[in-house]
Amino acid sequence: EALTLLAQQAFHDASFMLRPAHQKQVAAILHDPEASENDKYVALQFLRNSEIAAKGVLPTCQDTGTAIIVGKKGQRVWTGGGDEEALSKGVYNTYIEDNLRYSQNAALDMYKEVNTGTNLPAQIDLYAVDGDEYKFLCVAKGGGSANKTYLYQETKALLTPGKLKNFLVEK
């Protein structure tokens, strides 16, 4: 249960809170003599948005991203197993209870995909390390949510076996 609560709180905070140091950097734009009026306007809107998000109803950004968890589990830490499942449940709970946008797609086959409707699966990478601590890095990766080596903006018309094969051979 502790791992579920940890993941749930981490992704809630990532979706609704910004670090004070980050807020100070943005606020500094308002008094920067080199900042344009547009720069100041954008900074002010960003600060207002983060104030609204901090109330926990509307997230900082509508692209609440792919949940990524990297854990380093010390050899003397005993959890009883099921760590990935517990962490995944915490991610699930956050997206359901905080009404965050689901952005994960699952492949149905080579050409079709569907939104999972839960924002799962989360990417969870757990490593065994020396020691007696269990450390986590939790990231909500937005920006399209999926890494791409190359990105070609095409239409769905390309998603036929013949056209896709020609496209891939050409590239």
Digit-coded pLDDT (tens) for 31-50: 999 999 999 999 999 999 99
DSSP string, the chain: -HHHHHHHHHHHHHHH---HHHHHHHHHHTT-TT--HHHHHHHHHHHHHHHHHTTTSS-S-S---EEEEEEEEETT----S-HHHHHHHHHHHHHHHTTPPP--EEESSSS-EEE-SS-PPPEEEEEEESSS-EEEEEEEE-TTSS--SS-----GGG-SHHHHHHHHHH-
Q: Where are the domains of the chain?
A: 63-170
Give the pLDDT of residue 99. 85
Task: Give yes or no for a contact between 88 and 10, defined as CB atoms under 8 angstroms apart.
Answer: no
Give the pLDDT of residue 24. 98
Banded pLDDT at 153 (limits 50, 70, 90): confident
Banded pLDDT at 146 (limits 50, 70, 90): low
Pair of tokens at residue 137: 């890095």
Residue 143 predicted with pLDDT over 90: no
pTM: predicted TM-score of the whole model, two decimal places: 0.78
Pair of tokens at residue 81: 């197993």
Inter-axis angle of helices 37-53 and 20-29, nearest 10: 150
Residue count (the chain):
171
- Tell me the pLDDT of the chain averaged across its residues: 91
Lowest mean pLDDT segment, chosen from 9-18, 20-29, 71-80, 101-110: 101-110
